[in-house]
Structure 1
């Protein structure tokens, strides 16, 4: 028998929100943790990114606050969710908000990179559920704008990524300001010594559940290594990214991400970038373009490996192999989310062979390696099926998505690519009729596919078949300062 959210004890008003979003079947991490978290127990949930952890804590947070019946007072949130990046904070809030509204609760986000005025005003009015990055929250507490003494439920999401980014001292200070009798939940893809210290200090008799560990890549994710010359890297990336569907490309450095996004736009691939040098406004605009389908490719540094939740990414490309296996697994987790299939490709040059071999061995994957001499190799069509089309580089506010001014015209550059509804990016060998998919939980709802084309009203001048090998650009140097 299939377990339902009702079987797990989710309140009726929250079930209606899930049904409206097309979410009907709990993922393994949700099915494992919800009975205990809804009962108010401290909990440690271990699961890979894309396993459905956000709903695993969002549902009990809302249900527990609604059941307690306490009123919100100014500057004193009733629940606290800590996350490592601005993007993840925003996406958690997007998941929580409909649930909170159904229960008559208010949510708000707190993170740096933007003015604190709206955050201070919201706290002054009263916030039931505060979703925050540790640094800005500590600043607001130090200024007297926030007090954690009334927190009933505390959640720490992506705890291991917090440790990687050096946030654990701030996290310990913040958790120490929450009441000892409150419920605490910690979610992490891995559990190392640093996380174990948090568990032992702040969780009382926690129940432990594990599903889809990051150390166990799922079978639906295919891993490939393309052995290429340096000159062939950009043409191969243009070929892969010009196939139907959403693609996420990773570089090691901020400079490399910006340069590669610019080159892809100039080659006609609608592309945005995401890295630490972008302002919060630029991050938001670029992610909105990627979510909406105006941009079909996202070029990112490791900031996006754990902070970006886009459910229908069919292809992840490591343009620069990461430095260690945990980063490889978390980058790769941008695809094959919540049961969907996905493909992971690593580009490897001669001097990277030993590093990539050690990397994949440590990650526990056995990739298929193919040596390429040109972009007409049949493996590219196999890995990214569909007609190659170059609708034109993306333009946002009169500049390309890297902020570098209007891109060149190779492949229609300077014009917006097609607008596609979110959820219509799954690769297929033939164009299929599109079907809308509710946001929230990948793999639960219809998924369609659409070829890239310059549809009327999209600002594109029509589609363009790919005939060259990257617009004549030389290979990108995907390196530079972090």
Structure 2
């Protein structure tokens, strides 16, 4: 199928496509839309940047137009769940464009924004609600909306929702939805937990898979530069100085580290902003708007921006810190080389991150070309040398352990370890 005309979309939807630059369906759109228009449940496997939003959004608007009825107070006719605020915003903008000129009301609810304003907006009911799971549950707990009349459900980037711990929330939401509904689940990967989620949400689904998991876009030039952790900031500045005026996206692993890097780059004279979990929704939206408009040239972000950020002019992605989830690498670098343009992605790898790099290459089934620094050489033990142990690994011949890792005494009973003062562990969240 070479165009949208023969996919079963409504005339009103088709009239909106040229204005938003949709002229030819992508593979996921061409394969998924006809099944969705017919009312089938669908499991879609596709990488970021393949046009998934239009794949479920266009037929959803078509079906709502054909349904014809207006929503009742506090009701939601179609629900789209997304893992991050940024992706929810991106979906909302796109669906609003698809429904332009129709009576369909589209609304987005995310954390970081006034819940009282959201409660007030939902009183009239909405045709399409785009939500992050946490904020949706807050609104449901307040009685601000009901899902009893929801006939259309989309879980977008479902694998990421599982990664960040939304599985229990998703199960709660599923119990509040009517059985008689159409459900679409889109994911970039298919871990075992995803299969369980699909089994509980979908009924006799069509399975559509395009772009093998782990494969990056062909127009992205990739490279890895080996560097000590303390030298990364200076190396990043050197790279960005070679491309003045071009938009660059820099990924860090933690909120605090990303904010610190942003302030350092700002002190060095770069036009830079940052988005992460410690920023309010208003701050994140303003910063993204400035980046999209080219008012700031460098955006430092955690993985909140790894999916759903669609800015065609991003030319460079720098993985300042390698992700500890290998699949996130492909999502990160997928922020460049969009809309048919070229892009580059450079990964900075410290000695402690070599294991993360190898895991990424294994997931991609291809090595990343080395473009700088000294490649670490695996150490070969000398004859007669003691074998090196990993941290926490017991030496050969160590005494057997009892339950919960407690050492066993000679008579087979557990030794009671000496009491230690309790200390609450400190951790740092990634997003």
Instruction: Tell me which interval the TM-score lies in, with the shorter structure as reference length.
Output: 0.7 to 0.9
Matches for 1:262-411 after TM superposition, within 5 Å:
262-337=263-338, 339-372=340-373
Residues in 2 aligned to 1:178 and 1:93: alpha-carbon distance in whole angstroms: 21
What's 1:217 paired with? 216
**What SS class does the counterpart of residue 128 from structure 1 fall into?**
strand
Contact 2:88 2:108 in 1 (8 A): yes
How many positions carry a matched residue from both structures?
376
What's 1:99 paired with? 98
What's 2:161 paired with? 162
**What SS class does the counterpart of residue 99 from structure 2 fall into?**
helix
**What SS class does the counterpart of residue 111 from structure 2 fall into?**
coil
Residues in 2 aligned to 1:188 and 1:8: alpha-carbon distance in whole angstroms: 22
Residues in 2 aligned to 1:348 and 1:132: alpha-carbon distance in whole angstroms: 35
Between stretches 314-323 and 73-82, larger displacement belongs to 314-323
Contact 1:72 1:78 in 2 (8 A): yes
Residues in 2 aligned to 1:353 and 1:331: alpha-carbon distance in whole angstroms: 18
What does the per-residue CA deviation read over 1:233-265, in whole Å, with 9 as the maximum and x for residues that have no partner? 223212333414221111111111011111222
Matches for 1:91-240 after TM superposition, within 5 Å:
91-230=90-229, 232-240=231-239
Residues in 1 aligned to 2:356 and 2:156: alpha-carbon distance in whole angstroms: 31
Residues in 2 aligned to 1:315 and 1:102: alpha-carbon distance in whole angstroms: 36
Contact 1:47 1:53 in 2 (8 A): yes
What root-mean-square deviation, in Å, do the aligned CA atoms of Structure 1 and Structure 2 show?
Answer: 1.9
Matches for 1:31-70 after TM superposition, within 5 Å:
31-70=30-69
Could you tell me how far 1:49 is from its partner in structure 2? 0.8
Residues in 1 aligned to 2:428 and 2:164: alpha-carbon distance in whole angstroms: 20
**What SS class does the counterpart of residue 224 from structure 1 fall into?**
strand
CA distance 1:127–1:303, change in 2 (3 Å): same
**What SS class does the counterpart of residue 306 from structure 1 fall into?**
coil
Residues in 2 aligned to 1:362 and 1:99: alpha-carbon distance in whole angstroms: 35
CA distance 1:142–1:357, change in 2 (3 Å): closer
Residues in 2 aligned to 1:111 and 1:354: alpha-carbon distance in whole angstroms: 35
**What SS class does the counterpart of residue 178 from structure 2 fall into?**
coil
User: Larger radius of gyration, structure 1 or 2?
Assistant: 2
**What SS class does the counterpart of residue 248 from structure 1 fall into?**
strand
Could you tell me how far 1:338 is from its partner in structure 2? 5.1
What's 2:257 paired with? 256
Between stretches 198-207 and 235-244, larger displacement belongs to 235-244
Residues in 1 aligned to 2:111 and 2:76: alpha-carbon distance in whole angstroms: 19
Contact 1:27 1:338 in 2 (8 A): no
Could you tell me how far 1:90 is from its partner in structure 2? 1.0
What does the per-residue CA deviation read over 1:279-333, in whole Å, with 9 as the maximum and x for residues that have no partner? 1121111111111111111111122212423233221111111113112222222
Could you tell me how far 1:353 is from its partner in structure 2? 3.6
Could you tell me how far 1:358 is from its partner in structure 2? 3.9
Contact 1:51 1:338 in 2 (8 A): no
Residues in 2 aligned to 1:265 and 1:36: alpha-carbon distance in whole angstroms: 49
CA distance 1:233–1:122, change in 2 (3 Å): same
Contact 1:212 1:218 in 2 (8 A): no
What's 1:447 paired with? none
Contact 2:45 2:208 in 1 (8 A): yes
CA distance 1:263–1:174, change in 2 (3 Å): same
Residues in 1 aligned to 2:153 and 2:353: alpha-carbon distance in whole angstroms: 43
Structure 2: gaps (5+ residues): 375-426
Between stretches 57-66 and 194-203, larger displacement belongs to 194-203
Q: TM-score, normalised by structure 1?
A: 0.74
Contact 2:323 2:356 in 1 (8 A): no
Matches for 1:446-461 after TM superposition, within 5 Å:
none
